[in-house]
């Protein structure tokens, strides 16, 4: 039986063809959007796809900083985001002016600034190198060792990278409002129910949760880990959209959403702002379009390209 989304999905695929567009989709998006993607992946994979594409239009189903990254490296292309308000709490935790004034006040430290990709173009423009959760360890290991590192904006990812590399860094005190909701108690409770299950956690989770995990990794690496692990059941401490991809690509295994103290599974309200209807409208109207000031774009491009070269 055709799904209730079939007509809309077909309409979107026709529009995609007529616009010479590519549909890039993050792992946290609604299942019905993931199912019509040209590529579904994590922030790093999506940035590579955005750089490689020959399409005229990039329909980016994710949050604003991801679509903005695609625009920074593709100024000649039209980049659309189905809902222009799809932001990110990490981006909000580090406004460009605050970082600029911090760097000015601490100019004597000569910081090497590594920015997690979950930040605005203004913050990227002030940074030396960008990283994602998939390559943060590598990027920090390749940083010059004669300068102190300032890591922005995620304190949890930053702390995890320090644990992995032994490199001390100063951390901006931002966090993801979704991942900090997983607690030692909520995860321990579900582990008691599924004692054989392995725990997969995103590095944006707090130390207390990371300590319980069998593996801490980016969303893309979660798929690889689940495929190669001997375990048949996994508790997944990240946004619940991830389960669609895991169930689709590893159908022989069982995945359980990591619960928080309030909810059976964690949902990012920003990621879930995009819908099939909004994607259809965006491809039809070529709006909302991601734009930015050219000077900021140029400055933000260099640290992104540095990251892509370093993590190749």
List of residues contacting ligand SF4 (CB under 6 A): 63, 88-90, 118, 176-178, 204, 239, 268, 270-271
Q: Which residues contact 234 (CB under 8 A, 6 or more apart)?
A: 197, 198, 199, 200, 226, 246, 253, 254, 255, 256
* Closest CB 49 distance from ligand SF4, rounded Å: 18
Per DSSP, the residues of 33-97 read: HHTT-SEEE-HHHHHHHHHH---SEEEEES-HHHHHHHHHH-TTSEEE-S-TT---HHHHTS-HH
Could you tell me if 150 and 112 are in contact, meaning their C-beta atoms sit under 8 angstroms apart? yes
Q: At what angle do helices 276-285 and 6-19 cross, to 10 degrees?
A: 30
Contacting ligand 13P within 34-73 (CB under 6 A): 42-43
Pick 36 or 217: Cβ nearer ligand 13P: 217
* Closest CB 246 distance from ligand 13P, rounded Å: 13
Could you tell me if 93 and 153 are in contact, meaning their C-beta atoms sit under 8 angstroms apart? yes
- Give which of ligand 13P, ligand SF4, none residue 270 binds (C-beta under 5 to 8 Å, depending on kind): ligand SF4
Instruction: Kindly state the number of chain residues that form the binding site for ligand 13P, as judged by CB under 6 A.
Output: 12
- CA dist 82 and 273 (Å) reads 8
- Give which of ligand 13P, ligand SF4, none residue 89 binds (C-beta under 5 to 8 Å, depending on kind): ligand SF4
- Give which of ligand SF4, ligand 13P, none residue 181 binds (C-beta under 5 to 8 Å, depending on kind): none
Q: Tokens 């990278």 — which residue? A: 161
State yes or no: residue 9 binds ligand 13P (CB under 6 A).
no
* Closest CB 274 distance from ligand SF4, rounded Å: 12
Pick 26 or 49: Cβ nearer ligand SF4: 26
Tokens, residue 12: 């979107």
- In angstroms, how far is CA 3 from the centroid of its own chain? 28
198-201/233-237 β-pairing? parallel
String marking each residue 80-99 x if it binds ligand 13P according to CB under 6 A: --------------------
Kindly tell me the burial class for residue 146, based on how many C-beta atoms sit within 10 Å of its own C-beta (0-12, 13-18, 19 or more). Answer: exposed
Pick 134 or 174: Cβ nearer ligand 13P: 134
Cα separation values, 184 from 173, 215, 232, 264, 267, Å: 21, 15, 23, 15, 18
In the list 218, 257, 260, 274, the residue contacting ligand 13P (rule: CB under 6 A) is 218
- Give which of ligand 13P, ligand SF4, none residue 39 binds (C-beta under 5 to 8 Å, depending on kind): none
State yes or no: residue 118 binds ligand 13P (CB under 6 A).
yes
In the list 69, 135, 219, 274, the residue contacting ligand 13P (rule: CB under 6 A) is 219
String marking each residue 119-148 x if it binds ligand 13P according to CB under 6 A: -------------xxx--------------
Q: Which residues bind ligand 13P (CB under 6 A)?
A: 27, 42-43, 118, 132-134, 176, 202, 204, 218-219
């Amino acid at each position: 039986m055709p799904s209730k989304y079939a007509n809309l999905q077909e309409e979107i695929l026709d529009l995609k063809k007529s616009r010479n567009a590519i549909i890039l989709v993050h792992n946290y998006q609604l299942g019905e959007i993931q199912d019509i993607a040209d590529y579904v992946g994590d922030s790093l994979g999506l940035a590579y796809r955005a750089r490689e594409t020959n399409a005229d239009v990039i329909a980016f189903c994710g949050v604003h900083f991801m679509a903005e990254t695609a625009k920074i490296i593709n100024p000649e292309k039209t980049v659309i985001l189905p809902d222009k308000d799809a932001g990110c709490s990490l981006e909000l935790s580090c406004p460009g002016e605050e970082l600029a004034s911090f760097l000015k006040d601490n100019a004597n430290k000569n910081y090497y600034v590594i920015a997690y990709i979950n930040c605005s173009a203004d913050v990227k423009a002030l940074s030396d190198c960008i990283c994602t959760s998939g390559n943060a360890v590598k990027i920090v290991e390749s940083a010059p060792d004669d300068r102190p590192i300032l890591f922005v904006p995620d304190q949890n990812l930053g702390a995890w990278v320090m644990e992995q590399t032994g490199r001390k860094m100063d951390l901006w005190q931002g966090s993801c409002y979704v991942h900090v909701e997983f607690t030692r108690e909520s995860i321990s409770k579900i582990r008691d129910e599924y004692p054989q299950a392995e725990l997969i956690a995103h590095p944006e989770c707090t130390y207390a949760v990371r300590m319980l995990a069998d593996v801490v990794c980016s969303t893309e690496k979660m798929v690889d880990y689940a495929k190669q692990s001997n375990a048949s059941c996994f508790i997944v401490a990240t946004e619940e959209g991830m389960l669609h991809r895991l169930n689709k690509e590893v159908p022989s295994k069982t995945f359980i959403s990591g619960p928080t103290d309030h909810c059976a599974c964690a949902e990012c309200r920003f990621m879930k702002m995009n819908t099939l209807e909004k994607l259809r409208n965006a491809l039809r109207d070529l709006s909302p379009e991601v734009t930015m000031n050219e000077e900021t774009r140029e400055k933000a491009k260099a640290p992104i390209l540095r990251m892509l070269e370093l993590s190749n």
